[in-house]
């Protein structure tokens, strides 16, 4: 009931629908939300989004009960492919990276919006994915992150269809792989660096629950570092360089790094390992290191310090023992998410704020690490929006999604998608 009252309030009092404003080319930016609300086909799409929400929630559950661990998104991808086909998208296919891609042509090829949600979850193979529902609350691993995003994306396609919305530009919908963890944004990297290189004018990802808009992409570099040597008996072979000692030297240096508070830049040695026994000089010692920043220059700077620390520790340990049992180091980059941001005053952020406001929703600008990092780092306009509702426990087995008024999230996604097809 609350929802219906809300709906009426923002649709009444706007006077006669004037679709001519759109035909005349409403500019993106500050007023696009209110302008679009006056378009009859957009109104119809929004109404459809609201009416259809129970089915969107059913889809959210259905998709969520198909496992999609990192690098094993195939089965869920097939389900999305069928959904894209059923909803009438054109050129539906699964690309080389495993992304499901489908096109909704507009009057022109550009502006070309890519509207995405990620398929993968953080949960390993074998995790029970059955969901439970109690009233408005649905529980299950991945139900918000990112089954909500996938369901909202299907809801947007359906709503545009119901409203017979003819967008000026074209929308490519993508259910992409590899957003989480070691997936390392490979799905979106493939879109921007290969399959759709140079063709994308703007990018929206729907990720998780709530109503925020992420415009700052926190970048991260992750490494696995291994010091290696011949190893030997702790007494008999004493005098050999020691990989664990080298690792200790490196960690001591990293622990003393000075980093800026603003932009927030961080470092962490997250895991260490190695050695064979208390009375052996190890033949290997390793660590996993994570560094992050919302600013690419700061990330590069802490990254450079890290490399120096690793090399210095190696040189010091080798020198300490006069080159006996000389060590080597292997430094593997296991995660590379570039930092980036879409300026607050940019048309895409203004459009996101405008449509959020037009629907009477709270406006909040966030920082995060999402698929939008890739376009942001390439200076292509991008935001990640939440999919509505209220979520908790993301990345845990107890994840839940409260669908109270979640249709507002679907409506916001519809409005933003339409807005970004306008010049
Ligand atoms: Zn996510």
- Prior bond of 74 cis (ω within 30°): no
* DSSP code of residue 388: B
pLDDT in tens, 42-81: 999 999 999 999 999 999 999 999 999 999 999 999 999 9
Q: Tell me how far the alpha carbon of residue 118 lies from the centroid of ligand 1, in angstroms.
A: 7
Q: Tell me how far the alpha carbon of residue 254 lies from the centroid of ligand 1, in angstroms.
A: 30
Q: Which two tokens stand for residue 355?
A: 């449509």
Beta strand 132-134 pairing with 213-217 = unpaired
Predicted local distance difference test score (pLDDT) of residue 30: 66
Q: Tell me how far the alpha carbon of residue 1 lies from the centroid of ligand 1, in angstroms.
A: 30
Predicted local distance difference test score (pLDDT) of residue 308: 98
pLDDT in tens, 85-125: 999 999 999 999 999 999 999 999 999 999 999 999 999 99
CA separation for the pair 286, 394 (Å, rounded): 30
Residues of the chain with pLDDT under 70: 1-30
397 vs 130, 139, 141, 264, CA distance in Å?
Answer: 11, 9, 5, 29
Predicted local distance difference test score (pLDDT) of residue 6: 24
Q: Tell me how far the alpha carbon of residue 378 lies from the centroid of ligand 1, in angstroms.
A: 21
* DSSP code of residue 182: G
Predicted local distance difference test score (pLDDT) of residue 1: 25
DSSP string, 19-60: THHHHT-PPSSTTHHHHHHT-HHHHHHHHHHHHTHHHHHHHH
Its pTM stands at: 0.85
Predicted local distance difference test score (pLDDT) of residue 181: 83
Q: Tell me how far the alpha carbon of residue 209 lies from the centroid of ligand 1, in angstroms.
A: 10
In the chain, what are the domains?
2-217+341-419 (3.40.630.10), 219-337 (3.30.70.360)
**SS3 (DSSP) at 356:** helix
Q: Tell me how far the alpha carbon of residue 90 lies from the centroid of ligand 1, in angstroms.
A: 26
Phi-psi region of 360 (alpha: psi -120 to 50; beta: other; left: phi over 0): left
């Amino acid at each position: 009931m609350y929802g219906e009252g809300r709906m009426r309030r923002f649709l009444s009092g706007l006077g006669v629908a004037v679709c001519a404003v759109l035909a005349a080319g409403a500019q993106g930016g500050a007023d696009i939300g209110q302008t679009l609300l006056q378009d009859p086909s957009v109104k119809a799409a929004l109404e459809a989004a609201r009416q259809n929400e129970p089915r969107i929630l059913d889809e959210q559950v259905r998709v969520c009960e198909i496992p999609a661990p990192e690098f094993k998104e195939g089965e869920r991808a097939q389900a999305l492919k069928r959904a894209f086909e059923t909803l009438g998208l054109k050129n539906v296919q699964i690309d080389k990276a495993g992304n499901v891609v489908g096109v909704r042509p507009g009057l022109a090829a550009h502006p070309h919006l890519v509207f995405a949600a990620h398929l993968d979850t953080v949960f390993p193979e074998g995790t029970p994915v059955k969901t439970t529902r109690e009233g408005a609350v649905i529980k299950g691993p991945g139900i918000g992150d990112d089954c909500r995003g996938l369901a909202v994306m299907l809801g947007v396609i359906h709503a545009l269809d119901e409203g017979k919305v003819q967008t000026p530009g074209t929308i490519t919908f993508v259910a992409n792989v590899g957003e989480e963890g070691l997936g390392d944004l490979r799905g979106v990297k493939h879109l921007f660096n290969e399959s759709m290189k140079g063709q994308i004018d703007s990018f929206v990802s729907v990720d998780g629950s709530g109503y925020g808009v992420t415009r700052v992409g926190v970048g991260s570099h992750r490494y696995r570092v291994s010091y290696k040597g011949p190893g030997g008996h702790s007494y008999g072979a004493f005098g050999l360089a020691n990989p664990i000692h080298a690792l200790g030297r490196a960690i001591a240096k990293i622990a003393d790094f000075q980093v800026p508070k603003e932009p927030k830049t961080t470092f962490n040695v997250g895991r260490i390992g190695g050695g064979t026994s208390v009375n052996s000089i190890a033949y290997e010692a390793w660590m996993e290191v994570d560094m992050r920043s919302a600013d690419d220059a700061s990330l590069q700077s802490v990254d450079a310090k890290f490399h120096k620390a690793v090399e210095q520790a190696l040189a010091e340990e080798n020198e300490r023992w006069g080159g006996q049992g000389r060590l080597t180091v292997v430094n593997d980059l296991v995660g590379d998410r570039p930092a980036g941001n879409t300026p607050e005053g940019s048309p895409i952020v203004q459009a996101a704020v405008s449509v959020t406001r037009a629907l009477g929703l709270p406006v909040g600008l966030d920082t995060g690490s999402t698929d939008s990092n890739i376009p942001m780092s390439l200076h292509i306009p991008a935001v990640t929006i939440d999919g509505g509702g209220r979520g908790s426990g993301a990345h845990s087995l107890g994840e839940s999604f409260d669908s109270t008024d979640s249709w507002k999230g679907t409506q916001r996604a519809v409005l933003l998608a339409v807005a970004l097809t306008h010049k």
